[in-house]
Structure 1
Amino acid sequence: MSAGGPLLEVRDLAVRVRESEGPRLVRDVSFEIAAGERLALVGESGSGKSTVAKALVQLDRTVEVSGSVRFDGRELVGARPGDLRRVRGSGIAMIFQDPMTALNPVRRVLDQVAEPLVIRGVPRREARRLAVAMLDRLGVADAARRAHDYPTAFSGGMRQRVVMAAALVGGPRLLVADEPTTALDVRVQEQVLDLIEEQSRELGLAVLLITHDLGIVAGLADRVAVMRSGALVETRPVDELFADPHHPYTRGLLESVPRIDAAPGQRLRTVADAVDDTRESADA
């Protein structure tokens, strides 16, 4: 952590469906992210990763958030709507899972990328200039012309670059990337991850990467936080976690990743296999 303390500090975060006495969707989640640091939040589908992401800036109005989320020293849980709007985009920006649905198909790309700046009061002409510059920075060829196209004219990989441009154009300090490669093929996945790493390094941007795919974590993250059933079970530096996972669930996640050197026909281990092995060893 930097001498000035963490950029994002989450303590005892809990999320529950509003007006419900049912179980909490997320409970007792605590972690920190320093300026410029990249933290991966991993776990199976349904473990609560995306719920945590949305809770940071309270995007889901159907749930009740408790605990503490401090961004740059400011408490966000219980903050006024106007204060939250000022943090969204300019402080914390998000990339959502599917670039095919994250963009409005009937609005030109230029207007969608410029919109966060226009909302903040930047003159429309200047906002559009900055939008084109960001599209160009993120590798959209002939950005000044392509910006006037609709999203349907872009490939999946190019749409994800447009989504990133809309997230980064406001100059945020923390980027929350929620499964940013889910709908993309392997080659484009690599390009998008390289782009996130490059922008983090060049802009000093902190990143919270949310993924179920441990295969994409090693080359991007500094630390890894593992979620299971709405709670964190392990948070470690990435090299230490891959070399010596402490929790049985983490070992199960790592062992369930397909290996290129596996024998043909060899059965792929599941997370449950690793957890069961640990129980059997304890019983013995």
Structure 2
Amino acid sequence: MNDGDALLCIKNLAVSLPGRERIAGRDGDLTLVDGLSLAIRPGERVALVGESGSGKSLTARSILQLDPLLRLEGSISWKGAELLGAPRRVLQRVRGGEISMIFQDPMTALNPVLTIGEQVAEPLLVRGVPRRKAHARAVEMLDRLGVPKARERMRAYPGQFSGGMRQRVVMAAALVARPQLLIADEPTTALDVRVQEQVLDLLEEQSRELNLAVLFITHDLAIVAGLAHRVAVMFRGRLVEEKPVDELFERPEHPYTRGLIGSIPRLDLDPDTRLTTVEDYLVLEGGAHHA
């Protein structure tokens, strides 16, 4: 990809926890993400895949610099402008406005004592949009995302919604300011399979209709085939493989990627057959000691 075509361009990103912030008795910085480079075009859906602890969520949070205790090095460029070291006013304009984020658990992402309407309209209100207009756009977005009786439910509280509906509310709050990039951090983890499919369909639909770029964070390679244009695989803090989605499934190169694909359950397998694990591939192919 030509970097000039990219909305978001990350180059050689390193994320570390400074020694002074570490547990007592541990010296030196702890490197959590090491030398990651990734670019995303307008309207493109990119899946960042890896097991828990691989650094994918840290990478996503680093784009918006949400963890002030961490040290960030390298470059994070948004529409050609550098975000690392940018003034606070620039980050405030980008956060929630040009780049929005959906967090993993909708129940903890929503404030239980504020109405749905207040929370969906908030990204507009903090940017100076008049209250009446902000609430009208919030109703419009909730309706767009399939929340029934959206105007009435603006007065409801998160505890009155099911898990799937709460995730739609979180998506509405993320999309109401019409961002150009949506970061979705494991948005289907706490949902049952049927609701997972609905959320993935909504993400794909909104991306297509709004020309919205999506960075989709997940540990489950099986769910990205119908959503992502491109897949980037993380292993132990490093990006080890990046390909168009079809090519990745057809010709995975890194042992870790082959392990992820090989450990996906298949309906045509004998129920008594032991599933291959990622560790099996790493040991078999000597990939356990290199990334």
Q: Same fold (TM over 0.5)?
A: yes
Q: Which amino acid aligns with 1:205?
A: L
Tell me the distance in 1 between the aligned counterparts of 2:18 and 2:93.
24
Mapped pair 1:56 → 2:63: yes
Of 139, 160, 166, which residue of structure 1 is paired with 2:167? 160
Determine if contact 1:136/1:143 at 8 Å carries over to the other structure: yes
Structure 2 CA distance for partners of 1:2 and 1:168, relative to 1, 3 Å: farther
Measure how far apart 1:225 and its partner are: 0.3
CA separation of 1:73/1:3 partners in 2, compared to 1, >3 Å: closer, same or farther?
Answer: closer
Selected match of 1:223 from 222, 230, 236: 230
The equivalent position to 1:91 in structure 2, one of 83, 86, 98, is 98
Equivalent residue number for residue 144 of structure 1: 151
**Are residues 1:14 and 2:14 paired?**
yes
Query: Offset of 1:279 from its aligned partner?
Result: 2.7
Please give the secondary structure, in 2, of the residue aligned with 1:246. coil
State the AA in 2 paired with 1:190: E
Gaps of 5+ in 2: 21-27
- Structure 2 matches for 1:1-284, cutoff 5 A? 1=1, 5-20=5-20, 21-279=28-286
Within 1, Cα distance between the matches of 2:232 and 2:4? 22
Q: Is the 8 A contact 2:6 2:41 kept in 1?
A: yes
User: Unpaired segments of 5 or more residues in structure 1?
Assistant: none
- Counterpart in 1 of 2:25? none
- Aligned-pair identity in percent equals 62
| CA root-mean-square deviation | 1.3
Q: 1:2 to 1:108 in 2, by over 3 A?
A: farther
Deviant stretches of 4+, over 6 Å: none
Segment drifting more, 257-266 vs 236-245: 257-266
Paired residues of 1:249 and 1:274 also in contact (CA < 8 A): yes
Hey, what's the Cα distance between the residues in 1 that align with 2:202 and 2:124?
Answer: 22
Query: Displacement of 1:99 after TM fit?
Result: 1.0
Shift of 1:19: 4.7
CA contact (8 A) 1:13 1:69 kept: yes
Provide the rounded CA distance (Å) in 1 between the counterparts of 2:234 and 2:95: 24
**The residue matched to 1:220 in structure 2 has which SS?**
coil
Distance 1:3 1:100, change over 3 A: closer
- Distance apart, 1:184 and its partner CA: 0.2
Taking structure 1 as the reference length, what is the TM-score of the superposition? 0.96
1:18-41, Cα deviation, whole Å (9 max, x unpaired) = 454233110100010000000000
